[in-house]
Structure 1
């Protein structure tokens, strides 16, 4: 019961946070056009596609984690998005986020992997639907799939900062 409450709290912190980040990319002050320009300046090509992929991956994975549905695949998406962000936007700026570093992206990815390991808890759609994709092997899979997806995206589409 304590673990279930703890995982609900983690999901309600992590999921909406990523959803709102995606929403901001799509609907914030600069909208997708601003996100496209930003992604282009970071070297992601085609920038218009990456702006949409990032926004909708963040919103989708954030929503899934919030309700506890397909939690481990959503955790893999968290890892992938955070790995790309670390490499393209936070790399070379040190550890601390207040200096633009990768502290934040690493923490989000690590919490997502821990969520895949422990599971979303009793108050989740995974539990209601009998979806059991948790444990050390599933957490490892979320980590590896997320990192592999990020590496593939970067190898195919990253052209370096302008």
Structure 2
């Protein structure tokens, strides 16, 4: 099949499937941080070098729940994708750092894939079955893909520069 022969309905379905895979997954990650106890999440973040842990536990949970919801609903599509990229970049450079690529060894395979798919969603758009479409907002295309990628990387860099203080005694394995 020629790429120009893909119907808008097929693209809308593809976008919806991606949104329904990514969005609820991130909402559940955020809810898990809250339901599992923010104190435990704060301690884990402190052990990763994200300081203060209590603040990052709350910011991460709120960002995951918020970004997951807006991606699921197809609202502010490019901005939701940007939040995904920022979250996944921080995870890759803290929790998965130095563990190789493959997830079964603790590597960044999963978070890299999620971030890349989020950028693709920013380019593709949320489709007809989205709040962006219902509101007449066109927050998709190549430009939004670049915004999601560069904005997410910049947000992650800002967070890491201001808050990432790993223990000097820990080494990357």
TM-score w.r.t. length of structure 2: 0.91
Cα distance between partner residues in 1 of 2:15 and 2:99: 32
In the comparison of the two structures, how many residue pairs are matched? 160
Q: 2: distance between equivalents of 1:56 and 1:34?
A: 16
Root-mean-square deviation over aligned CA pairs: 0.8
SS at match of 2:94: helix
Of 26, 50, 54, the residue aligned with 1:18 is: 26
Which of 2, 16, 32 lines up with 1:8 in the alignment? Answer: 16
Tell me the CA shift for residue 137 of structure 1: 1.1
Whether 1:103 aligns to 2:106 is no
Cα shift at 1:76: 0.4
Structure 1 unmatched runs, 5+:
none
1:49 partnered with 2:55: yes
Q: Is there any run of 5+ residues in structure 2 with no aligned partner, and where?
A: 1-8
Larger radius of gyration: 2
TM-superposed deviation, 1:49:
0.4
SS of the counterpart of 1:115?
A: helix
2:51 aligned counterpart, secondary structure:
coil
Q: Deviations over 1:11-39 (max 9, x none)?
A: 001000000001001112xx101100000
| CA deviations over 1:110-144 (Å, ceiling 9, x no partner) | 00000000100110000000111111111001100
